[in-house]
Amino acid sequence: MTTPSESAVFNKSELVRKVYREHPWFSNAEIRESVKLRWNVGVKSNLIIQAIGRERDRVSYLASHATLQQLASKFLADCGGNLSVAINHLRLAY
């Protein structure tokens, strides 16, 4: 369990992302429960979907999650860590 002062540093979306990074196989209900237990912060499914995507999409990419995360991290680093530049390149590729 973390301290209340640590939870004040993160917004709700960041808390959801933190739990997801640690447990990418968690369902939305498990993510909600984990955020509530660790930081005593309630989150709703809509926020989870906005922060990390739909559960059914996450489940379908679970097998390749680790590889995709490594590729995404490298891609973002190649864009100088600038998320806007990375998004623009992805839009051009689409």
Give the C-alpha separation, 11 to 13, whole Å.
Answer: 6
Q: Do 69 and 52 belong to one domain?
A: no
Q: Both 39 and 75 in a single domain?
A: no
50 and 75 co-located in one domain: no
pLDDT of 2 strictly over 60: no
Residues 56 and 69 in one domain: no
Token digits for 36? 């509530």
Cβ-contact 28, 48 below 8 angstroms: yes
pLDDT band at 66 (very low <50, low <70, confident <90, very high): confident
pLDDT digits 0-9 by tens, 5-32: 454 546 999 999 999 999 999 999 999 9
Per-residue pLDDT tens digits for 74-91: 999 999 999 999 999 999
Number of domains making up the chain:
2
Asked if residue 74 and residue 32 are part of one domain, the reply reads: no
Q: Which amino acid, 75?
A: F
Question: Rounded distance, CA 94 to CA 91, Å?
Answer: 5
Same domain, 56 and 78: no
Residues 84 and 40 in one domain: no
Rg (C-alpha) for the chain, rounded Å, is: 15
- Measured from the Cβ of residue 6, the count of other Cβ atoms closer than 10 Å reads 12
| Parent domain of 22 | 1-60
